[in-house]
A = this chain, B = another copy of it.
Amino acid sequence: MSGLFERHRPTLDAALQAVAKRDFWSPYPEVPSGKIYGETAKEDGLAAYKARLGQPFVLADHPAEGAVGAEVSPYGPALGITYPAASVETLIAASRAAARSWASAAPEVRVGVCLEILARLNARSFEMANAVVHTTGQAFAMAFQAGGPHAQDRGLEAVAFAYAEMTRTPAQATWTKPQGKGEPIIMEKHWRIVPRGVSLAIGCNTFPTWNSYPGLFASLATGNTVIVKPHPAAILPLAITVEIIRQVLVEEGFAADIVLLAADAPGSEITKDLVQHPAVAIVDYTGSNAFGTWVRENAGAAGVYTEEAGVNSIIIGATDNFAGMCSNIAFSLSLYSGQMCTAPQDIFVPRGGIETNEGHKTFDDVAAGIAAAVDGLLADPVHAAGVCGAIANPATLARIATARSLGRIVRDSAPVEGLDDARTATPLILAVDAADTNAYAEERFGPIAFVVAVDDIEDGVNRAAELAERKGAITVALYATDEAQVLTAADRFAAAGVNLSVNLAGGIYVNQSAAFSDFHVTGANPAGNASLTDAAFVANRFRVVMWRRPAAA
């Protein structure tokens, strides 16, 4: 039995309990506090990040045939970091060469290594937060949480599911078949976990760790080797991750190349060649539907797990907390400038208005209420910067500019004050009619929202559900005061395969998905074919193989 497994067993056991119970739980504190992470953790993390800048990122003994790296912070400066780069064939060969000892290690040994990696990642959360800030544009607090503890939660969740699945079948058993009055037939049977092969984790620009850790850790725990392919604009967070993983692997006597970094240059991406390589047996992908479709169609016999995109909706039928509703929606629209895959885009409101605790509100009242709440939220420039962060991709600014003509502007987008070198944009809110499907029925990534006039709550629910079925959706929110309407909507959105939040008005937002309790993406609509993390996400990453013989007399 592995020492690491024993050391981290309480964490594993608690995680297994948590995913069964689904109450709040996390072993990785989300508060970026020196009292938790050490008094100098914040300064140390910043210093560690700064020491990376303008330097080659050294991954000891990593295959390298060149160097790539062109990351530019959404807050302005180029990072100037280069990473070892190697051809697809070199990476695959190195991955396969490292496979054997990892595959034959006991599941407990692998799980122990994964838990140690997660613990070390947690200790490095401040360094990671800086790396995430300057590759994704997230504000620091969010980068700390989403890039650090919350990503670690999702990795642990995957490890816990992997452990549960790998240990469902005993390592050995005696099979005794009665033979009437004769002697029974007795067989000795042995089972082992056999991994699938090389696993490829394709990261995204906006959540390089949070979205990559589940597949990375699920594949690693189940004995596969992993090639981590970061987005060219967000390599650093995954390079740090790979560095830590390789250090732990080597300390435990395994080959470092069990996990490799496949850094590439913008315009010369090697992703397609990796996906199509016959040795790649598993692909985890986060990104656009267009490339997701390509991955699903071109991965051959590989198992493919995707989180793609969709059109997330809010349906407002009625509320007994108009101010709370507007504030809650305003935060969801503003957080990370709408660049979360869970951010709402379409807000369906009855043409004739809604009933609220403040009396009847017209369609325009509702739109104006949300716009005013956004204005209020972002009134203080420092606070606005902390909520909105920066825009990861310049194309998002262009998309906002184009979107302005798609409807009546209720609230215009503007740069965030005080972040002069940064690429920033507050939410653009447009009013349209349900007939204007060309405006609101496509995903428009970024801080672009539509308040859509519909007949009534049922009309809104049906339009949102049909959008989810056709274009995908990761989240939907509903505001209703009639319980029957709530339950009907719950049925409809279950059929559309989208998770629903009802009457959020306080400190929980539709964007948020808590590990160990909320599944992220259902796998049941075009927003992704997998869910983070359920048994289906891990159970097919390995196979079980037996040998048996008659038991010794």
Contacts and interface: CB of A to CB of B under 8 A. Distances in A.
A1 interface: no
A505 interface: yes
Nearest to A498: B545
B517 A173 contact: yes
A166 to B, nearest CB: 10
A51 interface: no
A489 B548 CA distance: 12
Given A168-B535, A194-B497, A548 B518 contact: yes
Interface residues of A, number: 68
A504 interface: yes
A399 interface: no
Contacts of A505: 550
A548 B502 contact: yes
Given A168-B20, A185-B506, A543 B517 contact: no
Contact of A501 (B165, B497, B547): B547
Interface stretch (A113-121, A422-430, A519-527): A519-527
Contact of A189 (B22, B174, B177, B497): B22
A23 B175 contact: yes
B544 A531 contact: yes
A550 B196 contact: no
Interface string A85-107: 00000000000000000011000
A56 to B, nearest CB: 37
A356 interface: no
Interface in A402-448: none
Interface string A492-523: 01110111111111111000001001110011
A544 to B, nearest CB: 6
B24 A494 contact: no
A529 interface: yes
Contacts of A531: 543-544
A519 B544 contact: yes
A45 to B, nearest CB: 23
B547 A494 contact: yes
Given A536-B539, A543-B524, A543-B531, A501 B549 contact: yes
B189 A529 contact: no
Contacts of A517: 173, 175, 189
29 contacts: A20-B170, A22-B173, A23-B174, A24-B175, A165-B535, A169-B519, A169-B534, A173-B517, A175-B514, A185-B506, A185-B508, A192-B494, A194-B494, A194-B497, A497-B545, A499-B548, A501-B547, A501-B549, A502-B547, A503-B549, A508-B550, A518-B546, A522-B544, A534-B544, A536-B536, A536-B539, A536-B540, A539-B539, A540-B540
Interface of A: 20-24, 103-104, 165, 168-170, 173-179, 185, 187, 189-192, 194, 196, 296, 301, 486, 490-491, 493-495, 497-508, 514, 517-519, 522-524, 529, 531, 534-536, 539-540, 543-550
